[in-house]
Amino acid sequence: MTLRLLFALVCLATAAFPQRAVAQASGVPIEDPRSLMQNPSLLEKAKALRDAGKLLDVEKVKTLLAAPVPSPIELPVANTKPLRGREIAERARRAYFRLGWYYLCPRCGHWHFSFANAYAISADGAIASCHHVVAPTRETREGYLVALDPAGEILAVTTVLAKSQTLDAAIVRVEGGTFTPLPLNDNVAPGDPVFCLSDPLDERGYFSEGIVNRFYWKRAPKGDLESLDALKNLRVNVSTDWAPGSSGAAVLDECGNAIGHVSTISPLSEGAHQPAPAPEAENESEKAKPAQARNDRFNGATLITLHEAVPARGLLALAKTINVEAAKVTAPSEGSAPKKPAP
């Protein structure tokens, strides 16, 4: 085959199958492998917000977690139309925020980011995540709570609207940016398909599919099962993939609603639990084995990895407290005239 003929065949193939000229569909982002931890451009934007006095520092965040400042939020109505997988991924991406700390590293003396995940739940800047994402760690001595929006802009977190450490949930308000919220949906059951977009171990933009495994109580429920006090202990297991760094990411249903968010991950292995007293060995070879080995048939191997999420029912109860408490703040006191709306 001559070189000229080979070139002609390649041109014909390219013309016949133009979609094969690229590796992904039009508009699909290609994730950057570089860590966000030390991104120079983002660090400079965070510094500008810090210098302008727009960021909440460690002590202010601690104060707000102890006493949140609610203001009304409006949650969107849950979607009912099933979507294709790529449409769910796109909805997850539009609502996807990274939330965490812009902090001065005590070891190297440089400023870094420590991001986990969050998701928009209202069009006016309310985003939800884990309590443990928002709460400062002991190592965070000098730092500021910031958010990174889907467009890659650093935004200031202005307040904590509500939180529950037991539920492992916090709702904060973010200033600026565009918010495409996910509706919260608590009408789900084991076997339903679910999806998750997160940054497991800093692997950015990882989207996975699974199912709802079960709902369960972490502790014995107390009181009204519709109340936040009881729902703080409600959890859901799902089989979508995640890892450290995924905390706070939304878990979505097939209609693009959030059914909860990532909380913890833990391996389930027989050796990880305190063994029961060893039964009497039946023969000499068994007697020679340590009691731990006789009780652990799998030698400590991981059998199942449990992915624990905070379900939407708890989030809905927490969000309800925001509007209830906000109404108390704005309601006129007894004997006083109602406040007039601003002109």
Q: What pLDDT digit, counting tens, does each position of 204-237 carry?
A: 999 999 999 999 999 887 777 788 999 999 999 9
pLDDT score recorded for residue 284: 40
Residue 275 zone, left/alpha/beta (φ > 0; ψ -120 to 50; rest): beta
Residue 143 has pLDDT above 60, yes or no: yes
Spans of all domains in the chain: 40-268+305-323
- Stated as kind and residue range, the H or E segment containing 86 is helix 85-95
* Mean pLDDT of the 251-256 span: 98
Residue reference for tokens 């709460």: 135
Give kind and range of the element (H or E) at residue 6.
Answer: helix 3-16
Question: What is the structure's pLDDT at 303?
Answer: 84
pTM value? Answer: 0.82
Is 307's pLDDT higher than 70? Answer: yes
Q: Which of 71, 243, 49, 65 is nearest to 147 (CA)?
A: 49
C-alpha–C-alpha distance, residues 88 and 83, integer Å: 6
- Per-residue pLDDT at 2: 56
CA distance 290 to 343: 79
Residue 78 has pLDDT above 60, yes or no: yes
Higher per-residue pLDDT: 184 or 300: 184
180 CB neighbour count, 10 Å cutoff: 15
Q: Is the pLDDT of residue 243 over 60?
A: yes
Report the distance separating Cα 264 and Cα 244, nearest Å: 8
pLDDT tens per residue across span 14-39 = 444 344 445 678 888 899 988 899 99
Domain 40-268+305-323 -> CATH class: mainly beta
What is d(CA 154, CA 172) in angstroms, rounded to the nearest whole number? 15
Q: Cα separation of 39 and 267, whole Å?
A: 32
Q: Can you give the pLDDT at residue 220? A: 81
Rounded (5°) CA angle 19-24-26 = 75
